Amino acid sequence: MREPDVASVMTTQVVTASPETLFRDLVETLTEKGISAVPVVDSAGRPVGVVSEADVLAKQEFHGGRDDIPHDRAGRERWYRALAHTAGEVMSTPVRTVHAAEPLSVAARLLATAKVRRLFVTDHIGRLVGVVSRRDLLGVYRRTDDELRVAVEALLAEIGVPPDAIQVRVEAGTVTVDGELDRRARVDATVRAVQALPGVVGVHNNVRYLVDDVVVAGSSGWTGFSP
């Protein structure tokens, strides 16, 4: 079963600014729309920067640039933003983006490694088409137990598990699988596939096997018994 992509959970109605958008208009957008950041796009709709609440607060922090320039690099960057009159002057770069067709796991990894709360979503030619946040990704865990059970059963059929070979129960997002398959390697692969299904919290594996074909150092690779 194909992992859901970013396009399936992203927000498509995105408020944007241009590099020429005035500082006061940026503040009004942030406050009136109740958002924490605005992407800045060029004439072709490609994101070139982002203006956050922290960026515009630099003007207040340094009294519009009247204060002395700080000695540290981060402080200097904020001080220069205090002089800004437009989005192009105050925006941060680079923009953290993700392609709309990427799986959710890729977006989750980018959010974690970049330590940001949102990613701006682009199409195949780099145009802005949406935004995806941490909260959007967490939505997969709101699937009901019945929805998860149906999804797991569909997955099992897709990966070739014989009908009625495995029974599926789901409680609070945790999947329990019972039944029997021919080989241990197939059991392991099946459980891994269920674990990777978006929305699954955990898996209790009660599936038996007839042949242990997983070779472990010091063993013959055959038991003939179920675990």
Residue-wise pLDDT for 159-183, tens only, equals 999 989 999 999 999 999 999 999 9
The CA distance from 15 to 130, in Å, is 10
- Give the per-residue pLDDT at 1: 60
The CA distance from 186 to 59, in Å, is 61
Domains and CATH numbers, the chain: 6-140 (3.10.580.10), 143-211 (3.30.1340.30)
State yes or no: pLDDT of 217 exceeds 90.
no
- How far from 225 is each of 25, 31, 167, 205, CA to CA, in Å? 71, 65, 20, 16
- Give the per-residue pLDDT at 192: 95
- Give the per-residue pLDDT at 2: 72
| Max CA distance (Å), the chain | 80
Mean pLDDT of 9-37: 95
The CA distance from 26 to 28, in Å, is 5
The CA distance from 156 to 166, in Å, is 8
Two tokens at 165? Answer: 């070979």
For the stretch 126-159, pLDDT in tens is 999 999 999 999 998 999 999 999 999 999 999 9
Averaged pLDDT of the chain:
92
The H-or-E segment that residue 75 falls in is helix 73-81
State yes or no: pLDDT of 225 exceeds 50.
no
The CA distance from 21 to 51, in Å, is 11
Two tokens at 119? Answer: 């990613």
State yes or no: pLDDT of 219 exceeds 60.
no
- Give the per-residue pLDDT at 207: 96
- Give the per-residue pLDDT at 224: 47
Radius of gyration from C-alpha coordinates of the chain: 25
